Structure 1
């Protein structure tokens, strides 16, 4: 007992000397700890699992290392690998281990930068050694040794002079350049693990042992700071996870993504091509046009039901229009230009000004509002050649734009209506999605007050239907804040497609009006929105999402009829005619080949249904039906098959 009493008194003395701090946690609970307790110890006290899995913490909204002692009352949140913050810190820490391994194996290598990126990390090196895939294996082994050593990440701060001295002596010219770009009075932070030190703002995981499973994936060249006038560096890409099983699953997804690459499948399925004569300008082939037309037909059906009227506006419009809209000042570098009758014209990069002119062409009453106008409008935007990527990044594309002109009192209902329409369309394809609210960018039109009003209106609409969203600060359009929809495909990748932009500025710029109930002119509010985003890009996403095996309603060819021998050709032609008369896209494989060969080819072309016909089928008026994924479905009366596939197509089953 006396010993216990002494320990208790000692603890009490510590608490009295150091004092206590209150920790407000994300769940709303409040805990007290002795001042100076590290965040890692707090995590361990909350739960053993959190102590093992926490990678970084935020104190009053600022990310810090877990080794930081807490000296004041604060809001504290812990992040594991399940969070974006945790993954970023985890992978950035792995990039430091990569740099350490490279410098140990290849002395004389100078370090550039090594950030975390989506699903991984990279580091840029200036090395006399030429890195190869074989050398990546060696580097990876050295990284695993560093991880096994469980070296703590230690932060220390230097003055500008101290840091310049340190990195100049080490010959790290790229780090010196980065330091010189910092404000003169800035304190410079560095991190070390073992005998390795790097310039870094942090934070990092507690030690290298947390990093567990990693893989160096590929090599690339990269100009220092992305400037082609600078030296070309060697970039090593990699990824890392807390568990080997997670890494294996990720690598499987990478291989699956290669197999599903829309550029590869687009060529194999004869959907589209990109020609040397038009880089960034896709050519759609007959099968690709069927797919595209089905999407556009679906879009028109849904928008008609939702009260939209379709319009079409010119591709080339006068410079004065683009000056008035703000595009000339805010978007000029992405536009194409021409001269007509000695006057400046621009090829439209967006459909909005044309839609505005349609609204402005007549006087409107408050009784007409909201007016919803949709357009499948072809736009052109200049993209750097290095950024072009199949259908995902092109120089001309068709936006499924719509512009809604409304009363201020209609804002919430119209935004909710667009959200519901977007949800309906995405659900047809089986897409899950996440929502972001993007706020005022650095380069923007209008006052802070107008932006605040528009942003609040979008937030109000999202909250009114209980939709979860994340704020994406500074990523709004130059004329207004927006809600962005990020689709998740079957491989867990996300794609930004739909957007809803609330705009108080364009109606002002173009002097748009409606006659109110009081007989006076008033200013409408405007919504810009897309759902597919771009028809071309959406097709690229669909190709990869479905792996080219489109649902029957979208498939360029929905069924193929295969006679067993030539004597079954007449019946096969009758089957084709009946399917064709029923509106089913069908063809006949009348080649003198074995049926199994024909089936394999149809499978490779990802045709949903294969109908094999022989003596028995001709006698009974049936077809032996095979589905590309379900296999043999047995013999079916022809009218039953037509009924079933027609129902599947009508309901747009995926």
Structure 2
């Protein structure tokens, strides 16, 4: 009998008969504790079910159910169990579409005449629990594409047939458990008994394949974990996230509104939100001036030919709005600011001595996002990029990237984000430019990250079509990641627009262009800030830093005097002199997350003071209005926040 040598990563090796099931090998090589946690394996780099057979020598890595990959397998398997439960409950009245694992959970899309509702979750979960208790095994089978099409046609699963019809392969894999069969790469857990800890969460509408012209499906979201404690912690985080939802807080705090009459994905900033935005913008502009940038302003539309030259119509046309005719010439709303900055550059001649040139703009752009993808401030159709473009010589590239990283982390820290993940995205399949330029750019980004001593992950193939990039994903108070900052190197646009400078040798050279955004989109960043701080912004960022309130009408005139005095000193203050009880006024101010409440009674009026109460209920000793101004000034410097 032919034998194969199976090694663990630590070097231990053992011979097994060729064709031995993974489960038997795991039983021999791993400890009892490891075996209980091993949900699948990676063999010679390939993920395999425990029921798979091994036919060659190799290295085996057990996949713990508690690992990131293990949890993904667990959740994907639970999606299949949910689909089986739905089919057993509703039969042919339901067709299944797709059901992947996603971050923190899974979903499955169903086609049903009457959409599912959360009221049906209990019944579906009970059926899932029955399936789990039956220890149904997951069976993998390879079959021809034609055989698979025939099988799914027989059962009326038209969505699976469509997917199979478009596949460029002769063989596909399917998984079955009980009566349910699904097209799937796998792997899956050995049997349903691994899937005891799950919870269905919500439903949403979803167009088949994201196409608004196709069938509307019902998407059921759920989650699954290896133990109950993890599930409970996750549900607690979900509840906290619900409380911090920027859409709810945006209404409560009077920051922004979105109205159907205006259009979905278009933000109307209310006075308090507009003031918050102004504070962020002013800080952004001041910091850019300190770091050697110059401010630009550019139009909202341009001739369509500009977008042809830039390549946006070829690579980004689906995300651009339709052209409009003006004076018999076609124009389009801008999806990017880059070509305008290049136009400003090309308006003059440049010398190598001028570099680096650092230009920045808070430029509003417009991109078509599908209605189903819109989400408050996080995904909109009109938004303001904190955009910047740096033009530099090749010998300056690495240093400029390092400086941008330094500046970027300073900005994020000031806004309260100390944790983040860094990704280096490399060349995609569809790209422009020479391999030499791509290699030069990627190496410069990599060296800048290493010089900054930042840990990073390679994100293969996720660069933009014109160059590699660094992405920084910040983490909020709940540990959620948000994509904000990006640094992109571009040789393509300088070439397309024939950008030139006179070099030290007197000849013409092409500059390198760096695209850079620190916050990404101002709208999205403010949405993240709202949820990060649960609406209780730091004092320097708070739209309303203080609210003064009287105890009785006798102090109304003194309230007005203090209000005027503080406002003239630059304090962002409002007054509440309504004929209401003090506790009611305090409660309203707390709901509005106002940092300081200034209380004025008869004693304060007579002594020319104010009683200062923090939003957490702590009372400070009475002080003069000038003393309060000094306190606020000292506390509201963003650079020491």
* Superposed pair shares fold, TM > 0.5: yes
- 1:62-83 residue CA offsets vs partner (Å, 9 max, x unmatched): 3222443444444544444555
CA distance in 2, matches of 1:46, 1:386: 47
CA shift for structure 1 position 529: 0.5
CA shift for structure 1 position 207: 2.7
Secondary structure of 1:114's counterpart equals coil
Distance 1:222 1:563, change over 3 A: closer
Map of 1:180-579 to 2, 5 A cutoff? 180-183=165-168, 185-186=170-171, 188-228=172-212, 230-279=214-263, 280-336=265-321, 337-431=323-417, 432-579=419-566
Secondary structure of 1:607's counterpart equals coil
CA shift for structure 1 position 562: 1.2
CA shift for structure 1 position 137: 0.4
CA shift for structure 1 position 239: 1.2
CA distance in 2, matches of 1:353, 1:44: 63
Distance 1:456 1:148, change over 3 A: farther
CA distance in 1, matches of 2:64, 2:627: 54
Q: Report the equivalent of 2:14.
A: 33
CA shift for structure 1 position 480: 1.4
Secondary structure of 2:539's counterpart equals coil
CA distance in 2, matches of 1:450, 1:143: 54
Deviates more, 1:441-450 or 1:201-210: 441-450
CA distance in 2, matches of 1:250, 1:644: 40
CA shift for structure 1 position 326: 0.9
CA shift for structure 1 position 49: 4.4
CA distance in 2, matches of 1:65, 1:617: 75
Deviates more, 1:414-423 or 1:236-245: 236-245
Map of 1:550-629 to 2, 5 A cutoff? 550-629=537-616
Deviates more, 1:515-524 or 1:100-109: 100-109
Kept in 2, the 8 Å contact 1:553–1:652? The answer is no
Distance 1:244 1:571, change over 3 A: same
1:153 matches 2:138 = yes
CA shift for structure 1 position 185: 2.2
CA shift for structure 1 position 560: 0.7
CA distance in 1, matches of 2:599, 2:28: 65
Kept in 2, the 8 Å contact 1:330–1:443? The answer is no
Map of 1:118-157 to 2, 5 A cutoff? 118-127=103-112, 131-157=116-142
- 1:578-625 residue CA offsets vs partner (Å, 9 max, x unmatched): 422332111221111111011011111111110112233334443222
CA distance in 2, matches of 1:616, 1:49: 71
CA shift for structure 1 position 136: 1.6
CA distance in 2, matches of 1:75, 1:514: 55
Count of aligned pairs between the two proteins: 634
Of 605, 612, 633, which aligns to 1:646? Answer: 633
Structure 1 residue runs of 4+, over 6 Å off?
none
CA distance in 2, matches of 1:335, 1:162: 41
CA shift for structure 1 position 439: 2.6
Deviates more, 1:282-291 or 1:333-342: 333-342
Secondary structure of 2:412's counterpart equals helix
Kept in 2, the 8 Å contact 1:39–1:70? The answer is yes
Secondary structure of 1:394's counterpart equals coil
Distance 1:502 1:77, change over 3 A: farther
RMSD: 2.6
CA distance in 1, matches of 2:206, 2:371: 15
1:632 matches 2:611 = no
- 1:258-315 residue CA offsets vs partner (Å, 9 max, x unmatched): 3322222222222122233321221212211110111011111221121111111222
CA distance in 2, matches of 1:511, 1:47: 65
CA shift for structure 1 position 335: 2.2
Secondary structure of 1:55's counterpart equals strand
CA shift for structure 1 position 561: 1.0
CA distance in 2, matches of 1:229, 1:610: 53
Kept in 2, the 8 Å contact 1:43–1:54? The answer is no
CA shift for structure 1 position 502: 0.5
Q: Report the equivalent of 1:60.
A: 44
Map of 1:67-82 to 2, 5 A cutoff? 67-80=51-64
Secondary structure of 2:520's counterpart equals coil
Kept in 2, the 8 Å contact 1:106–1:129? The answer is no
Secondary structure of 1:468's counterpart equals coil
CA distance in 2, matches of 1:648, 1:532: 24
Distance 1:448 1:66, change over 3 A: farther
CA shift for structure 1 position 148: 3.1
Secondary structure of 1:296's counterpart equals helix
Distance 1:411 1:54, change over 3 A: farther
CA distance in 1, matches of 2:606, 2:281: 41
